[in-house]
Amino acid sequence: MRLWMENGQNIKDVIVKWNGGEDSLVIPAKFKTGLDSIDVLIPGLEEKSYSFDIHTIDNFGNRSLTYTQFGSTYGATYQASLQNRRVKAASLTDVVGKVEWYAPAENMVFTEVKFVNLRGTDTTVRFPASDFSVDIEIPADAEFQFRSLYIPEAEAIDTFATAWSTDKVPDYFTFDRSNWEVIAVSDEKVSDGGGKTTLIDGDLSTYWHSNGRPTRPSRTGPSLI
């Protein structure tokens, strides 16, 4: 619990009550001049929502009005409800491995991936849940583990993690085509399955073919990549 006070230098104690006043906590306070705050941990709370009644006592024994604030505690029940992020695809090129992800669940803040890298070192990579892919230096046909981390509310002090799940990259790699270019082909039309760039797009549903009915022999021939 974080308690804020404006010009509370004369406040001696902050009294917090909950469960209808059956439970309470007296917090010695030393506020500075101006806007100041104190952080207090309340141990042993059952996992549920609470209403807290708060008032102060100053150095002269005066009691303030009661202020009610609401809060929740999170624990095993919340953690059991969390889902790990789903892997969309895992691929491997001659340069690096890549893991792609589906959209994160609500309140997910990070995803972690754990693996043994190409140098044989145990490695853990953490990245924001807003990222939809991560590059990892991993050998072919190797397993990796992953888990998701959640913060239930913006002001929550604990981060909750799912159990580790396991997946693996393929036992083969494809060449990185990011710097490849199709320089020339013997024939290119709109009807030729999408044009010459489809030769290197990695999509088996697109294609290029040469002129099937050439008017001159010179119009048929290979492509140059």
Express as a percent the part of the chain with pLDDT over 90. Answer: 68
Q: Tell me which residue has tokens 């009644």.
A: 53
Task: Give me the residue label for tokens 């030393």.
Answer: 30
Amino acid making up residue 215: T
pLDDT at 178: 80
Please, where are the H alpha helices in the chain? 76-80
Write out pLDDT tens, residues 62-111. 999 999 999 999 999 999 999 999 999 999 988 899 999 999 999 999 99
pLDDT for 158: 92
| Residues 127-131, mean pLDDT to the nearest whole number | 97
Radius of gyration of the chain (CA): 31
The residue written with tokens 């990259």 in the block is: 169
Query: Sign of the C-alpha dihedral, residues 78, 79, 80, 82?
Result: positive
Contact predicate 98/90, CB 8 Å: yes
The contacts of residue 112 (CB under 8 Å, 6+ apart) are: 124, 125, 126, 146, 147, 148, 149, 161
Contact 175, 195 (CB under 8 A): no
SS3 assignment, position 165: strand
For residue 173, CA distances in Å to 97, 98, 177 come to 9, 11, 12
pLDDT in tens, 186-222: 776 655 667 788 888 877 788 777 766 655 555 545 5
pTM: 0.73
Report residue 32 as tokens: 């500075």
What is the pLDDT at residue 88? 97
Specify burial of residue 81 (Cβ count, 10 A radius: 0-12, 13-18, 19+): exposed
